Each structure stands twice: as structure tokens, then as C-alpha cells.
Structure 1
Amino acid sequence: MCPPGTMRNSTGATGIHQCEPCTGGHYCEGYGNTEPTGLCDPGYYCPANRSVSSPQPGDLKCPKGHYCLEGTVEPYPCDTGTYQPNEGRTDCIPCQAGFYCESALEPDPQPCPPYHYCPEATMYPIPCPNGTFTYDNETGLASEGECQPCISGAYCRGGYIMDACAGGYFCLSGSYEYTPAGDPPPANPDQDPCTPNTQCAGPCPAGHYCPVGIEDPIACPNHTIRNTTGASQLSDCRPCPAGSHCLQGDPVEYECPVGYYCEEGMPPEECPLYTYRNTPGAASEGDCYPCRAGYWCNDTGMVTFNQNPCPVGHYCERATPYPEPCTGGRMSTETGRRSNEDCPLCTPGYYCPNDTINVHGIPCRPTYECPEGASLEVVCRPGAYCEGVTGVPPDCPGGYYCPLGSSSYTRCFFPKYCPVEVKCLWNVRLDTWRCHILD
């Protein structure tokens, strides 16, 4: 009879040497087997051409780094990224996330090295994607998302920080190019953050310049401008053009405001005294207009000439530094006089002296006459009387006499008489009045 572990399914055997080993994956228990007794148990393997008499052959336990199902002929190697540190197992253990298992025979998973990440069942560490990195001592990353976006001012490839970004470029986050293309990242990421998991890098934003490896774009200073991208140094910010003013970090060129003039590369300056500017864009002090006649531009930065009309009693010529009083014999009750000739003559009955602000004039006193345009009072002429506020005095009436400086007329006494055309004068020698006919 064929011994245990063998079988013979045909007749005519002449010796034990004609007994065949049990079929692979099976065992043949006892003597005289014509067919396998059954499948080998899980955790064991039963090779072909091997005499196996037990379902759990002690010397054929499934080895480390393999797994054996029921009826296994040869042990199955653990799949990529799995391992099995024990014998007699029916499955393999997936390599845990953050580790890699390069060989199924190696019983201990290795921590994922720097610059890489290792999901579950990793055989070989996976380099972090371009635009991300890890630090030299950072191990055990389990997913791509644990690779950090490349630091500001540098570019990263394969998990490594390669180098600083080129001048004229702003690598804010996640850059994988030395000279990244695309839209510029926001100059102020606190107000305008980057989209997560994207390369946030590109040419230096307009209004700024970016030296090699800059972490934050540097704003072009006040009174300079850069209205295109890609500036790499301060000199790329050009002086603000004359007639415009430019703000720090702003790529927009603004017209010089009204009331100001803007020279090249300079801040706005107020138009000086006695001038104004009512339209934007003045490029020099000469572009400020002289104040118009009849007005007084008595402040700097004036935006209109008609803000301060020349005051009453004065006249203002073009660009006058201060209002001039109307000269003697002239006055002004209105604002806006353009010249001394524009001031009307002093009203009859009033006088307008020099070096005085004459608005209405000074009323002429009794005994004085003030014709139109008078700058001084004149003693009332003989043969007339001046009661006060007199321009042209009335003649003394018939029967009365009016000596020089009369404020009223005096009756003639008998035996004298005074017709209208006769004037009476005081004769000092005779101590009496003497009437005479006017020539």
C-alpha cells in the first residue's frame, strides 16, 4: 500500500516507488490513498511533488512576507505596499499611512522620509508634488495634503526648496518655477488671499518691485509709478509725470488736483498766493492762473478766482497782492472793482480823502461844500450858503446876504438892500456890510 502523503489512482504498481506525491495544495492522510484526502488548511502550503500527509504540515507553515489560503500550493508574496512579519498567515497587513514597506519580507515598516508622503499600502515613498516641500526633519507624512505649500520668495520641486525666485517675480505660495508665469498674485494677501492648493506666483504686481527672493512685494514710493508688472528694483519705479500725482504702491496715475500743481516726481504743491487753478493737471507753478481783476486771491491752493471779490472801498487789479483803497475823490459801495477808474467819483455832498477806505464818503459839514469827486471839504463860497452835506450850494436869496463860509442866509438891514444878483461882504475897515454887484 502507498504510504501517507502519497497516492496511486491506477493498478499495476510493482513497488512503493510508483506511488505518486499527493496533488499540490492537498494532503493524503493514511495508507492506500487513491485520491487526495482534502485541501491543506489556510496558513499552510502544500507543494506539488511533496508528500504531505497532514492538512497542517509543521514544516510547511506559510513563511513571513507571504500569505496562504486554503489549498495553497506555493506561498503568495504580499502585494506591493503590504507586509507580513509572522508565519502561518492567510493575509498581509497593508503598510500603515505615513510609512512605506519596500519589501514584503521586511517585517518593520519604515517611516516615510522627508520630502515625501506615504499613503496606506505604500511600497516606495512618493515625492511631494512640485510647488510643495517638507523640512529636513519632517517625516511620516501620510498624504499629499501634508506637503506644505512652497514658502514665500522661493520655488519648490519634488518636496525640496530649490532656490529663491528670480528678481521681478513674486512667489507668494506654492511656486514650482524660477520665473513663474500667469497672473500676478495679490500684493496684499491678507485682504485678497490665494486660492488653496494652487501656485500663487507670477510677475511682480504693478505698483511694486520685487528683488530676488522677496517675500513681500515692495511698494513703489510716493511720487513714483509702475503701471506694468515685473519690476525688479527701485529704479523700475519711474518718477510721476508732471501734471500728475502718484500714490505709494498704486499703479494708477491721477491728475494733479485743482488748486495745485505737480512737477515731475514731486508731491502736489498749492498754487501760490494771488493765483488759482480751477482745472486739474497743472504741471508747474506757471500753470496756476493769475487772479482776475476785481478779485483777491488771498490764500494758497485756491480753486476759483471769484471766492473773494475785491472788498468795498477798494479796487483789485490783476494778481494784486492786496486790495488798494480807492484814491482821493473816489469811493465804492460795491465789491469787485477792477481799477481805480472803476471806483465812482465821490457823491456830491460828501468828500473822500486820500489814505482812507471810502465806501460812502464823509458827509460835508455845514459851512463847507463838497462837489462831486471832492477829496477835501471847501469853505462855502460867498453869496451862497451850505447847510451840510452840500454838493453845489444854493445862492443866497434876495434880501439876504451870505458871506464866505455861511451855513445859512442873513437878512439885509435898512437902509441897505440886497437883490439876488448882489453879494454882500463884510467891510472890516468900515465895520459894516457892503453890497456890490457881481461881475
Structure 2
Amino acid sequence: MATSLFLTRLLKYDTAAFVFACLFGLIVRNTFGFCDSMNFCPPGYYRRDGQRARIPCPENTYFTGSHSITNLNDCPPCEGGYYCPPGIVSRCPEGFYCPPGSGMIACPAGAQCPYGSDRAHHCPPGTYSHARSTHCLPCQNGTFNGRHFQRKCVPCAKGFYCHEGGTQYRPPGQQCQPGNYCFQGIQRLCPAGTFQPYQEQNTCFPCPKGSYCAGQGQTAITGACTPGWHCGEQSTNQQPTPCRPGHFCPHGYEIPCGLGLFQPLEGQTECAHCPPSFYCNIKASTAVTGPCQTGCCIHGLHTSPNDCDPPNPQCSIRGLVGGTCQPCPVGKYCPYKDIPEGQAPFCEDGYNCDGGATYPNPMAKLCPVGHKCRHH
């Protein structure tokens, strides 16, 4: 205390002493021309010889010692893992890296920079990162990354599934299994009403009309629907909807009653013949269209009020063409007895109607694998 007071008084009145103090890096604060205190240069500053002004160390250098410095060379470069605003030393923050003497640099995408990093650490395969990340993230389920330093992961191959942190496009042993489908690299059960008999598939087949697929994860059709009931595509039980009037359901799905037929009731497996003396010229009719002319329509199944030619009595079963009693043509089906050849409708695409078909999608005639079955 006594020494400090002595120096203060000496510097107040002795110009030579004042200059001497400056030469050794002392800061002299002068108020109204008087020196009232003296201190060492604070951390991060230096003074040029013979000058009172304190000068900060340049950016990316530092000084933290307790004695004054009088030369710029006494401000060393900032060490790796630190950054140095003029004269100050701080640990490199998260999401940045600080090489020796280079300042603070934002961590690039595909790398990780935890607190105090002196370099960007590349993310390994199976991980990724965004810019300014402190750590790498694992690839999510359904995606993979097989290289270092990546900013994103991509979906694995169709028909395969990838676990979290995946590193392969087609991971061995991770093919999508029957009863499942793999969409965007994630394996999921086929929903109720669908099935999938094969592996490595990215969709499921809808259960066809006349059949049902009960529950999830089916590898085959569960069974045929009950006659008299209608099962549309993707049905989940065998009796979902009664067959509507004007239709018949011999195989578990609706077929409209053809010309010469009608059906007023629901839940039926056959259509009623248009009775003698009446005609039925509307498909899916629930009643006869009207009476025939006198002396006509004496046999039934008539489609015109002046139809006086009897149908061929030998064509008494479905699947045959009226007038010739030949099997229903290839690609068509004959759903009712004595149907005129020109009125036989086409089978549905995807089914192999090879002659004599009685309904549009015979389950026993699915189009073979590797073939195309189109009838229109």
C-alpha cells in the first residue's frame, strides 16, 4: 500500500517517472492532468513502447498473463478448440469447430462438432447430420446411408426393409416377407381385405370379388363368399352384403339379371325366368317389363313383346349360347340360360375365360403368372 501511494505521488509530479512506467507497460489513468492510479495492462491488451494507449491483441490471438506486454509478438495464436475475439480466449461452442489460429467455423452438414472441437468430425455410415450439429443422427427406419460425411439418408430398395442406422441398400436377410409389403423401406402387414403370397413386394393384392381375406398379414385368399351374398373387392368376411334385387350371386358376388330374366328378391343365387306372355328387356330388372302381344311369348324368357320364336329347349344350362348350344365364346361369359351370342358380356381383365365361362371372374381361371389377360 505504501509503495503504491509513493509511486502514485511520484508519477504525479515527475514526468521522467511517468515515462519510465509507460515503458514497462503500466497503464496510467490521468484525471484533470493528474495521475490518480496505475495498473498493469488488462488481459488481451498490449502497449507500444512509450505510449499510454492500450491496444487489443488481434483477432485469433490472445493474452491472459498477469504482467503487461509491450510487443505484438507477445499475443500468441489461438489454440485449437478455442476461439479468440480480440484478446479473449473462449472454448469453441457447440455446432462450430475452431482450428488453431483460425477463428470459429460453422460445422458443415454431414459432420458433428461437440463443445470444444478443433475440427469437424465426419459422420460414419448409417448416420447423417444437418449443418451446425453437435452429434450425428442414426438413419431412421426405412432409410440407409452407406458412406461417410452425408447430410441425409435415402430409402432402401423396394421390397426390402431397413432398421435404424442401416448402411446397405439391399440388406441381407431383410427381404419383405409374404403377407407383408415394404413401402419406403418399412415392412408392414397387408391390411385386412388384401393378401400377398410373394416376398420382396411393395404392395398387396386386393382380395377379388367373390372372396374374402380376413385379418391382416394374409398370404392367400381366406375363402369364397357365401352364395346369395355379395363380396366386392377387399372384402374381409364371407357375408358382407346380401345380393340386391335384380341380381343373383351364385359365387359370392353380384351379377345383374340379363335380358329375359328378373329377380324381385334379395339374397338370391339365380334369376327368375320371364314368364310366358310377358317380356323382360331390361338388365338387372326387379320385375317383368310388360305383357307380350297376343299369341307371342308362349315359352318364357322372352325379351320382346312380339317374340314368337321359341328358344332352343336343349340350351337349358348356363355357359351355352342360345340357338346353337355351343360353349360361351373365349373371353366372354354366359350367366343365364339360352343367352343370345351377341349379348354375352366380356369377362373381367385378369381372368382366363377360355370358353364356357358362367361368370366374369372365375377364381379357378386367374391369369397365369407372366401372362396378360385382357378381353376388351
Question: TM-score, normalised on structure 1?
Answer: 0.47
The CA deviation at 1:287 is 1.9
| 5+ long unaligned stretches in structure 2 | 30-34, 302-306, 309-376
Q: Give 1:40's match in structure 2, choosing from 1, 4, 10.
A: 10
Q: Give 1:233's match in structure 2, choosing from 168, 172, 182.
A: 168
Q: Give 1:170's match in structure 2, choosing from 114, 128, 139.
A: 128
Q: Give 2:251's match in structure 1, choosing from 318, 327, 330.
A: 318
Residues 306/362 of structure 1: CA separation in 2 closer, same or farther (3 Å cut): farther
The superposition leaves residues 126-177 of structure 1 with CA deviations (integer Å, 9 ceiling, x where unpaired) of 56256522589x94x4xxxxx34422222347544354222223333555xx
The CA deviation at 1:84 is 1.2
Residues 357/205 of structure 1: CA separation in 2 closer, same or farther (3 Å cut): closer
Q: What letter is aligned with 1:207?
A: G
Corresponding residue number in structure 1 for 2:200: 265
The superposition leaves residues 234-271 of structure 1 with CA deviations (integer Å, 9 ceiling, x where unpaired) of 2349344433444326x5x5543344324443233443
Question: Match of 2:129, SS?
Answer: strand
Corresponding residue number in structure 1 for 2:84: 118
Q: Give 2:269's match in structure 1, choosing from 334, 338, 350.
A: 338
Corresponding residue number in structure 1 for 2:324: none
The CA deviation at 1:80 is 3.9
The superposition leaves residues 57-88 of structure 1 with CA deviations (integer Å, 9 ceiling, x where unpaired) of 37962253511669x9xx97645422111326
Higher mean C-alpha deviation, range 162-171 or range 61-70:
61-70
Q: Give 2:178's match in structure 1, choosing from 213, 227, 242.
A: 242
Question: Match of 2:170, SS?
Answer: helix
Residues 321/366 of structure 1: CA separation in 2 closer, same or farther (3 Å cut): closer
Question: Match of 2:21, SS?
Answer: coil
Q: How does 1:41-190 map to 2 (within 5 A)?
A: 41-42=11-12, 55-57=14-16, 61-67=20-26, 78-87=41-50, 89=52, 92-95=54-57, 99-101=61-63, 104-107=69-72, 116-122=82-88, 126=90, 128-129=92-93, 131-134=95-98, 139=102, 141=103, 147-156=104-113, 158-174=116-132
| 5+ long unaligned stretches in structure 1 | 1-22, 28-37, 43-53, 142-146, 176-198, 378-439
How well do the aligned residues superpose, as a CA RMSD in angstroms?
Answer: 5.3
How many residues in Structure 1 have an aligned counterpart in Structure 2?
283
Q: What letter is aligned with 1:117?
A: Y
Question: Match of 1:216, SS?
Answer: coil
Residues 65/321 of structure 1: CA separation in 2 closer, same or farther (3 Å cut): farther
Q: What letter is aligned with 2:11?
A: D
Question: Match of 1:229, SS?
Answer: coil
Question: Match of 1:172, SS?
Answer: coil
Q: Give 1:215's match in structure 2, choosing from 151, 154, 157.
A: 151
- Structure of larger gyration radius: 1
The whole-number CA distance in structure 2 between the counterparts of 1:65 and 1:218 is 64
Residues 361/109 of structure 1: CA separation in 2 closer, same or farther (3 Å cut): same
Residues 325/97 of structure 1: CA separation in 2 closer, same or farther (3 Å cut): closer
Q: What letter is aligned with 1:152?
A: A
The superposition leaves residues 263-314 of structure 1 with CA deviations (integer Å, 9 ceiling, x where unpaired) of 4432334436433436452533x325424312465x65456765582663x6
Q: What letter is aligned with 2:144?
A: Y
Question: Match of 1:213, SS?
Answer: coil
Give yes or no for contact 1:260–1:271 (8 Å, CA) kept in 2.
yes
The whole-number CA distance in structure 2 between the counterparts of 1:361 and 1:110 is 108
Give yes or no for contact 1:259–1:301 (8 Å, CA) kept in 2.
yes
The superposition leaves residues 153-208 of structure 1 with CA deviations (integer Å, 9 ceiling, x where unpaired) of 22347544354222223333555xxxxxxxxxxxxxxxxxxxxxxx2533333332
Give yes or no for contact 2:212–2:225 (8 Å, CA) kept in 1.
no
Residues 104/336 of structure 1: CA separation in 2 closer, same or farther (3 Å cut): same
Give yes or no for contact 1:79–1:104 (8 Å, CA) kept in 2.
no
Seq. identity, %: 18
Question: TM-score, normalised on structure 2?
Answer: 0.53
The CA deviation at 1:97 is 5.9
The whole-number CA distance in structure 1 between the counterparts of 2:203 and 2:18 is 97
The whole-number CA distance in structure 2 between the counterparts of 1:267 and 1:96 is 62
Q: What letter is aligned with 1:133?
A: Y
Task: Establish whether residue 287 from structure 1 lines up as the match of residue 221 from structure 2.
Answer: yes
The whole-number CA distance in structure 2 between the counterparts of 1:159 and 1:357 is 79
Q: What letter is aligned with 2:110?
A: G
The whole-number CA distance in structure 2 between the counterparts of 1:300 and 1:24 is 100
The whole-number CA distance in structure 2 between the counterparts of 1:258 and 1:232 is 33
The whole-number CA distance in structure 1 between the counterparts of 2:273 and 2:84 is 104
